[in-house]
Structure 1
């Protein structure tokens, strides 16, 4: 029987523990010190594309180190469809897993602050899914568990160290409001995922990309900003909705240089305000907790949720209805941050 050198290698290293020379990239993300190790320059390039040029947010406590190993597998046979299978979650023995298929998955050991991200070469042709569903999944999950953060589906903008949390159902206009807040002088913290330290309501995020639908272009008056959005690549969400993926590091406005202390939260509504001069209205005390928890099922299961919820309610929660132009809503946010309401 003839055994090829490749077969000998697989028998000697069935778990691929010897992957060859490894390089590293280190980034300060969400208050943690992340080290990415890989023998693949292409995968480290994905990390750089995601996190290079971002403000290095630091939280009051010392930044722990998280280690993420990235491993590239050979290209698979072409699979049907335009997108990879959705990630399925699993856990056991202190490990968390997110699995697309046998060649694309994430294994996390939160107690050890480590993760393994495995991707096939063909995923390099799908950079949005590779970054968002594998690499960022590992970063966000390790940071949430290792730093005790509350992970929220929402956006956040602010100024002078204070921020306002933008919440609301999909399609309510959070991303569009975040975009116009950026264009009208507010600091941009995050558009899709916000991570809050419950003790001091310090919010952090990853301000790398903004996702808006094409109809948002018609409401952007600045020609340079429209050009920035229009030349951005388009991605397709799992829901089927197409959006521009605009790199915030290449666009106008300011990214929040430090975590923002939340001054309160706003539920963004798609409904028009009855009074164009009164877009903001306080949410009734008896409704606040239920509305905060709606759409935040994962966040409310985290250990810091109760402290976060109590403190945010004390700071103030409002509903923001639409005015004649989105800049009217931005002016209302300025008012909240100024403490005038």
Structure 2
């Protein structure tokens, strides 16, 4: 019987760089004011794209019609066998490339000028979906949006209502996630719990409102039994710091995600320090201190091209420090009061 092309063993030298790998799966997403095309040769990797971005409302920004392409590839690999977690991501750059490298089989390369990114994942990395999503896939998406659209990337949370929002900034462990969760439980819209992206001229904020992360000891402050069940039955993730948290999916219907970008009308530094009383929870930051505190709180964002304009607008707007009340709901009330106060201007 005559041999067919399918019977011929592939010659590695004919495609040494693996350029002819077919991408069998593709999905389009409208994220962070831009259009993203995700392509992959692996259905399991596309499942992680769905876990990160499925069910989110499309966010459009004025005059932002950027198209980005993210390719995800699966390669053989057993470098993580027996590991509790993957090695930390190492950042590299050069020749117009921005890279995050876990090891030889797990890395992401972003080419902002070409509006493209490549995410390479080993088969055993699929066993660490949290790190895969946050440290590789979201790395690609966030860098492309920051550099391509010109957004200011903030480490923080953001909640709002009726088209307006308040930025929740502050050090890790200050209580931003807890405040975001209780804001959702009390009817505010969630824009993001961990990363917020702001257009510096319009102060429109966008984000990815997929999960909130809650420590087990925070459940004692949740009065609603259905909400405690929703969180308590969620998967548990382990941060790089070693802290374990529930990863509760807001898209399941418990709470509202922001249907569109929100206009920033206020910003607070969330503090872990207790307030003496309810009236002392929200205190203004002296105008001369705002820029200094902002840069110290957001060192990466302070190096981006749109930072100066963003900083000027927040200084002119004014910022507050929010100290912790006896119950997280008191902090939510303070944020709601700030939203209402600014909406009347």
Is TM (by shorter chain) over 0.5? Answer: yes
> TM-score if structure 1 supplies the norm length?
0.95
- Against the structure 1 CA distance between its residues 97 and 7, is the aligned structure 2 distance closer, same or farther, given a 3 Å change threshold? farther
Q: Secondary structure at the match of 2:279?
A: coil
1:312, distance to aligned residue in structure 2 (A) = 1.2
1:150 aligns with 2:147: no
Q: Is the CA contact 2:206–2:262 (under 8 Å) kept in the aligned structure 1? A: yes
Counterpart of 2:273 in structure 1 is 271
**1:73-112 → structure 2 map (5 Å cutoff):** 73-112=75-114
Distance in 2, Cα, partners of 1:72 & 1:81 = 19
Counterpart of 1:230 in structure 2 is 232
Distance in 1, Cα, partners of 2:166 & 2:158 = 6
Equivalenced residues, count:
337
Q: Secondary structure at the match of 2:280?
A: coil
Counterpart of 1:114 in structure 2 is 116
- Over aligned residue pairs, what C-alpha RMSD do you find? 1.5
Distance in 1, Cα, partners of 2:263 & 2:156 = 15
Q: Is the CA contact 2:23–2:39 (under 8 Å) kept in the aligned structure 1? A: no
1:75, distance to aligned residue in structure 2 (A) = 3.4
Distance in 2, Cα, partners of 1:25 & 1:257 = 20
Counterpart of 2:74 in structure 1 is 72
Q: Higher mean Cα deviation, 18-27 or 310-319?
A: 18-27
1:6, distance to aligned residue in structure 2 (A) = 9.6
1:20, distance to aligned residue in structure 2 (A) = 2.8
Structure 1 runs not aligned, ≥5 long? none
Q: Secondary structure at the match of 2:84?
A: coil
Counterpart of 1:220 in structure 2 is 222
Distance in 1, Cα, partners of 2:255 & 2:15 = 50
Counterpart of 2:330 in structure 1 is 328
> TM-score if structure 2 supplies the norm length?
0.94
Task: Name which of 21, 31, 34 aligns with 1:19.
Answer: 21
Counterpart of 2:43 in structure 1 is 41
1:311 aligns with 2:321: no
1:293, distance to aligned residue in structure 2 (A) = 1.1
Q: Is the CA contact 1:196–1:203 (under 8 Å) kept in the aligned structure 2? A: yes
Structure 2 runs not aligned, ≥5 long? 1-6
Q: Secondary structure at the match of 1:339?
A: helix
Q: Secondary structure at the match of 2:205?
A: strand
Counterpart of 2:3 in structure 1 is none
Q: Is the CA contact 1:225–1:251 (under 8 Å) kept in the aligned structure 2? A: no
1:173 aligns with 2:175: yes
Q: Secondary structure at the match of 1:294?
A: helix
Distance in 1, Cα, partners of 2:21 & 2:119 = 14
Distance in 1, Cα, partners of 2:233 & 2:8 = 45
- Against the structure 1 CA distance between its residues 166 and 6, is the aligned structure 2 distance closer, same or farther, given a 3 Å change threshold? farther
Counterpart of 1:300 in structure 2 is 302
